[in-house]
Chains A and B, each alone.
Chain A
């Protein structure tokens, strides 16, 4: 693990603290600036979504024209990508795919693209690759192998936002934090807040309450105390520099928290918080149904992004092999779904993938997730920015954290992209199908992360991850960027 240094931790934040009072002005100026700040939102399904859900009939026909083993209704399709040059299908009729209809409902199907055939064997498979897919390194439950792409982007794109990155999502009902998908560094996982209530409090309680809110006042008192106490402890400390760095990091954390508090208060007049938790029966913030809580998190995400609280977000559903999610709201819409199985968890649902009604439910769950993503994208698309909209300057990536299936081998990681056209993304309704793993011109998830780097201004990001000699090609994916 890299050593903590106060200088390193403070490096960006002091500048940001100094600019906190002018943050609203800066955001106003951005709206009229020629090059608005790029943003990235990575939406993660924690236990695979199937290619079937995003494969349009037109794209399937094109694949079938290139293979001796035509696809029919398979959920997993990568074995059929027998071509050796990249298949590009423009205007591929995305909305006709099994789960992509909501894109058209929300009017963003022409600002989307589907990418198939990307592999990530280094990540390992199973229920989850943990941080593996996002670090392009060998994932395991015990230890984050390396920095993940969200943290890389956060370090460059945070600008003057209060939060370098926001990582929110849903897990089991009682889960509040998930440390299994994102990482600041090797061995240093970045937590995802899987409680919508916690996420609201973190993002909007200060803005909603203002300086007179007792919670804000209590926090300020506590942080003032902590600052004076750790300062005194540092003055009296007689240990080594390595141990001293722990206290310096604590002081830095206190100062960063104070600075963020000030900046959130400064945003109070310019950001409209969404409705907060009510604490009464039926509160969607506390619903057992995972998709209801995910909808809340998307609402918070939209408000946070539009309000300028961050430029990098992760929104995760059941990250890190979290399989105890319940989808009652979807099961209730499926004809003939057994009443006795309304509380079925995702794991059991996925294990029954060979059962037609389970397939129907899985595709419906993905359809609901796409609905939430589409609604989120439409909100961004309604905000003018530069010569286009906020969506045009925001890249939304929908991807799983383990690849092609419940017990995956990381052979294929289907991807849905939205927005980012002003950043060079070819999100024009196309489907791109790379040859399957092992074939010439197969491409890897690392190329997708390279693409995000290039699109957001870092044209040196050509070898993301730890693939080493296993890397097939450097740089971004030409078929979706440039």
Chain B
């Protein structure tokens, strides 16, 4: 605020006298002064109190409206300044002076001239504040690149780069580790300031991780490779291994266990020195313990914890990722493993010896091979590698071996698979990954199963719902074989995997399909008999893969936004909670790429009134947000959230609303960035079909994918990559084509060092 007044004073001082006709610059300065005096208390940078965009500079006024495509912000500003029912500034704020609106109008008509005192527009604080059209305006003359970075491994990447041999019943021993991504990042793939600080290092060195356990697994893995890598044997068997043996062992650890690329000579020298000290200090009988200590130490290698995307000079100011950097970038775009990451044993069908998740060369060996021979720089090779590892169909689903114990349980999943970072994108973008943490009071309330959820927390439906969250349930067939049925999150994974594997009109299918994947319920356990109720299915679901694929009535469901996992993730705790807000906000931000100010910018008490038997969630919300101060945000969120009121907080189809009235999903959509979306919709199904038909929505989907796979926000400089993705996608609506176009783009393959 204080800065705003200073700038306003400067702007006024720069204006001409009142008696003279204003020059064009006078108009600019007068307009700037009006904005600074009357607007920036809300339209600051960042905006506050529900304001959708900053107005701290004339540049902001010249920009195009993110909500009303094709209309300059200045035109919208004048419109709102003149609007009697929703005026700007809002009622209660300092009013405009006589002539202010005319001044701004004259400034527009004069071609929106500059003012010397204009501070200029700072970069957008959030990518959704960038007008979408500008992100798809490719200027091929400007070579593209991304910031050169170091990326610290995250929790999942570290876990999946570790071998797990000793306990196949607990393949997730390193799942809890301290390498969390920053909570402030929109996707886990972002790399902002994550590092290894004092606390992280301390927890990494605990016995369950590098203090003991990980080294054990690494040496078990090395031992398993001795038949195919005889050079490893000497370190296990020789009483006093010679220098060559020590060096080979250190090189093996670096290249095949922690770095997954050729080690530098000085890296080998340092770890060899540790190996000599540790191994030679102990007798052969304690050799395994010594090797485990060296293996644990190897994971503290800097470049093992920090993946490089620095590149080498190309002469045009950019750096091209090296073969190894590009291989790692590609592998981590597809998976949470490095190329060549060690294989793991899993239980399989219980027959010894337990099978491996990959061959002795590790996971994604084709990517590692393409790095070794340099072919990875070829776009055709990149494309082929993407297609090889992206998705497919596999009755055994080895891709699930680390998560699901036992072949029978894997076979309760769908037969289609996607790579971890493809399923990861959909989980994080749609947000349903967090569904298991969402508390639902009486999940069946207002649905036709309401009578099953009243009062008792031990009711069959409530118990089943918890099992859908945690997965802690077994199905037993007539022969006595037991397995876990998929959780609700897994069911949505399976539904999406099939859409991606079929890879045709992916977004449209995602938003409209009625083909869902359910858990089986034809079993002997009472508690599991209600796991199909969230889909409004009364009939038991058979224990076959085909049987678990269910087609739901088109009057009840249409795509992922009507899936119980998505609805519950973005729903409240109670049936009359304002789920509308959560769902509407998600739609605006993640499917329409609109900016909705975060709750931290809200300075009024944002809370609905008390629950009442006579009030629906919609009524509680409308009562609480009717004020103009609230409408800045809630006009956007509420209208996009109303259609989902045909479902309750847990995603069940409502038969009545909270007050006994019929469910009401009607809404009149306003301020949609795609004008064709404005207007009435009857419910979420109608809304989903409209969204599926919108090219604007498709572009937002492409932006979301860009963010996830690049691990950063998109900027105007990425327009060529985004356009390339769009062109690829538009061929037949293929997600894999779109991803392939991204990884072969300059933005993916080239880097620029900030400050250079």
Q: Which residues of A contact B (CB under 8 A)?
A: 1, 3-4, 9, 121, 126-127, 137-138, 140-145, 174-177, 179, 186-191, 193, 198, 201-202, 215, 218-219, 221-223, 225-226, 228-230, 232-233, 238-243, 245-247, 249-250, 252-254, 256-257, 347-348, 351-352, 407, 409, 468-470
Contact yes or no, B297 A202, CB < 8 A: no
Q: Chain A's nearest CB lies how many Å from the CB of B544?
A: 33
Q: Chain A's nearest CB lies how many Å from the CB of B276?
A: 12
Q: Is B239's CB within 8 Å of the partner chain A? A: no
Interface class of chain A by DSSP? helix
* CA A188 to CA B266, docked complex, whole Å: 34
B 437-457 to A, binary, CB cutoff 8 A, 1 in contact else 0: 101000000000000000001
Instruction: Please indicate the chain A residues that have their CB under 8 angstroms from the CB of B149 in the complex.
Output: 239, 243
5 other contacts beyond A179-B180, A225-B270, A233-B306, with CB at 8 A cut-off?
A201-B207, A218-B293, A221-B293, A222-B297, A257-B202
Contact yes or no, A4 B148, CB < 8 A: no
Which of B198, B296, B300: most chain A Cβ within 10 A? B198
**CB-contact partner of B183 in A127, A189, A253, A470, under 8 A:** A189
List 29 A-B residue pairs with CB atoms under 8 Å apart, sorted by A's residue number. Answer: A1-B182, A1-B193, A137-B600, A143-B184, A177-B176, A177-B203, A179-B183, A187-B183, A187-B184, A190-B199, A191-B199, A201-B206, A201-B211, A219-B211, A221-B277, A225-B297, A226-B300, A226-B302, A239-B148, A246-B195, A246-B306, A247-B150, A247-B306, A250-B306, A252-B197, A257-B205, A407-B573, A409-B607, A470-B605
Instruction: Please indicate the chain B residues that have their CB under 8 angstroms from the CB of A218 in the complex.
Output: 211, 293, 296
**CB-contact partner of A121 in B194, B211, B605, B753, under 8 A:** B605
Question: Which residues B385-429 have CB closer than 8 A to chain A?
Answer: none
Q: Which residues of B contact A (CB under 8 A)?
A: 147-150, 152, 176, 178, 180, 182-184, 192-203, 205-208, 210-211, 266-267, 270-271, 274, 277-278, 293, 296-297, 300-303, 305-306, 310, 434, 437, 439, 457, 573, 599-600, 603, 605, 607, 753-756
Q: Contacts A229-B267, A253-B197 given: A246-B210 contact, CB under 8 Å?
A: no
Instruction: Please indicate the chain B residues that have their CB under 8 angstroms from the CB of A239 in the complex.
Output: 148-150, 310, 753
Residue of A nearest to B185 (CB): A187
Q: Chain A's nearest CB lies how many Å from the CB of B215?
A: 9
Residue of A nearest to B574 (CB): A407
Residue of B nearest to A348 (CB): B457
Instruction: Please indicate the chain B residues that have their CB under 8 angstroms from the CB of A241 in the complex.
Output: 755
Contact yes or no, B306 A138, CB < 8 A: no
Q: Chain B's nearest CB lies how many Å from the CB of A123?
A: 12
Closest A-B pairs by Cβ, 5 of them: A187-B184, A226-B300, A233-B302, A240-B754, A249-B195
Contact yes or no, A232 B150, CB < 8 A: no
Q: Chain A's nearest CB lies how many Å from the CB of B169?
A: 14
* CA A190 to CA B197, docked complex, whole Å: 11
**CB-contact partner of A3 in B193, B199, B607, B755, under 8 A:** B193
* CA A348 to CA B441, docked complex, whole Å: 11
Residue of B nearest to A228 (CB): B270
Contact yes or no, A222 B147, CB < 8 A: no
Q: Chain A's nearest CB lies how many Å from the CB of B548?
A: 29
**CB-contact partner of B148 in A126, A240, A348, under 8 A:** A240
Instruction: Please indicate the chain B residues that have their CB under 8 angstroms from the CB of A246 in the complex.
Output: 150, 152, 193-195, 306
Q: Contacts A126-B573, A246-B150, A250-B195 given: A176-B208 contact, CB under 8 Å?
A: yes
Q: Contacts A176-B176, A228-B270 given: A243-B150 contact, CB under 8 Å?
A: yes
* CA A253 to CA B199, docked complex, whole Å: 8
Q: Chain B's nearest CB lies how many Å from the CB of A196?
A: 13
* CA A140 to CA B603, docked complex, whole Å: 16
Residue of A nearest to B754 (CB): A240
Residue of A nearest to B266 (CB): A232
Q: Chain B's nearest CB lies how many Å from the CB of A232?
A: 6
Contact yes or no, A191 B310, CB < 8 A: no
* CA A238 to CA B310, docked complex, whole Å: 8
Instruction: Please indicate the chain B residues that have their CB under 8 angstroms from the CB of A137 in the complex.
Output: 600
Contact yes or no, B200 A253, CB < 8 A: yes
Q: Chain B's nearest CB lies how many Å from the CB of A17?
A: 12
Contact yes or no, B207 A232, CB < 8 A: no
Q: Chain B's nearest CB lies how many Å from the CB of A326?
A: 15
**CB-contact partner of A250 in B211, B305, B457, B573, under 8 A:** B305
* CA A470 to CA B306, docked complex, whole Å: 43
Contact yes or no, A202 B206, CB < 8 A: yes
Contact yes or no, A249 B197, CB < 8 A: yes
Instruction: Please indicate the chain A residues that have their CB under 8 angstroms from the CB of B197 in the complex.
Output: 4, 9, 249-250, 252-253
Q: Chain A's nearest CB lies how many Å from the CB of B720?
A: 23
Q: Contacts A225-B300, A229-B302, A243-B150 given: A238-B753 contact, CB under 8 Å?
A: yes
* CA A239 to CA B308, docked complex, whole Å: 9
Instruction: Please indicate the chain B residues that have their CB under 8 angstroms from the CB of A469 in the complex.
Output: 603
* CA A186 to CA B178, docked complex, whole Å: 18
Instruction: Please indicate the chain B residues that have their CB under 8 angstroms from the CB of A221 in the complex.
Output: 274, 277-278, 293, 297
Q: Chain A's nearest CB lies how many Å from the CB of B524?
A: 21
Residue of B nearest to A193 (CB): B203
Q: Contacts A177-B178, A239-B148 given: A225-B271 contact, CB under 8 Å?
A: yes
Instruction: Please indicate the chain A residues that have their CB under 8 angstroms from the CB of B208 in the complex.
Output: 176, 198
Residue of B nearest to A241 (CB): B755
Instruction: Please indicate the chain B residues that have their CB under 8 angstroms from the CB of A142 in the complex.
Output: 183
Q: Contacts A198-B206, A243-B148 given: A138-B600 contact, CB under 8 Å?
A: yes
* CA A226 to CA B296, docked complex, whole Å: 11
Contact yes or no, A187 B182, CB < 8 A: yes
Q: Chain B's nearest CB lies how many Å from the CB of A429?
A: 36
Contact yes or no, A222 B180, CB < 8 A: no
Instruction: Please indicate the chain B residues that have their CB under 8 angstroms from the CB of A179 in the complex.
Output: 180, 183
Residue of B nearest to A218 (CB): B293
* CA A445 to CA B306, docked complex, whole Å: 41
Residue of B nearest to A233 (CB): B302
Q: Chain B's nearest CB lies how many Å from the CB of A191?
A: 6
Instruction: Please indicate the chain B residues that have their CB under 8 angstroms from the CB of A242 in the complex.
Output: 193, 754
**CB-contact partner of A202 in B202, B274, B293, B603, under 8 A:** B202
Instruction: Please indicate the chain B residues that have their CB under 8 angstroms from the CB of A3 in the complex.
Output: 193
Instruction: Please indicate the chain B residues that have their CB under 8 angstroms from the CB of A174 in the complex.
Output: 176
Q: Chain A's nearest CB lies how many Å from the CB of B574?
A: 9
* CA A191 to CA B600, docked complex, whole Å: 23
Q: Contacts A126-B573, A138-B599, A243-B149 given: A253-B201 contact, CB under 8 Å?
A: yes
Contact yes or no, A249 B196, CB < 8 A: yes
* CA A126 to CA B439, docked complex, whole Å: 10
* CA A424 to CA B206, docked complex, whole Å: 40
Instruction: Please indicate the chain B residues that have their CB under 8 angstroms from the CB of A223 in the complex.
Output: 300
* CA A233 to CA B304, docked complex, whole Å: 11
Residue of A nearest to B147 (CB): A240
Which of B266, B437, B605: most chain A Cβ within 10 A? B266
Instruction: Please indicate the chain A residues that have their CB under 8 angstroms from the CB of B607 in the complex.
Output: 409
Instruction: Please indicate the chain B residues that have their CB under 8 angstroms from the CB of A138 in the complex.
Output: 599-600
Q: Chain B's nearest CB lies how many Å from the CB of A325?
A: 15
* CA A210 to CA B573, docked complex, whole Å: 51
Q: Chain A's nearest CB lies how many Å from the CB of B432?
A: 14
Contact yes or no, A4 B195, CB < 8 A: yes
Q: Chain B's nearest CB lies how many Å from the CB of A127?
A: 7
Contact yes or no, A222 B210, CB < 8 A: yes
* CA A189 to CA B150, docked complex, whole Å: 21
Instruction: Please indicate the chain A residues that have their CB under 8 angstroms from the CB of B306 in the complex.
Output: 233, 246-247, 250
Instruction: Please indicate the chain A residues that have their CB under 8 angstroms from the CB of B207 in the complex.
Output: 201, 215
Q: Contacts A230-B302, A239-B753, A240-B147 given: A250-B196 contact, CB under 8 Å?
A: yes
Q: Chain B's nearest CB lies how many Å from the CB of A140?
A: 7
Contact yes or no, B270 A229, CB < 8 A: yes
* CA A233 to CA B266, docked complex, whole Å: 10
* CA A409 to CA B605, docked complex, whole Å: 12
* CA A1 to CA B190, docked complex, whole Å: 13
* CA A186 to CA B150, docked complex, whole Å: 22
Instruction: Please indicate the chain A residues that have their CB under 8 angstroms from the CB of B176 in the complex.
Output: 174-177
Instruction: Please indicate the chain A residues that have their CB under 8 angstroms from the CB of B267 in the complex.
Output: 229
Q: Chain A's nearest CB lies how many Å from the CB of B428?
A: 12
* CA A270 to CA B688, docked complex, whole Å: 68
Instruction: Please indicate the chain B residues that have their CB under 8 angstroms from the CB of A140 in the complex.
Output: 599
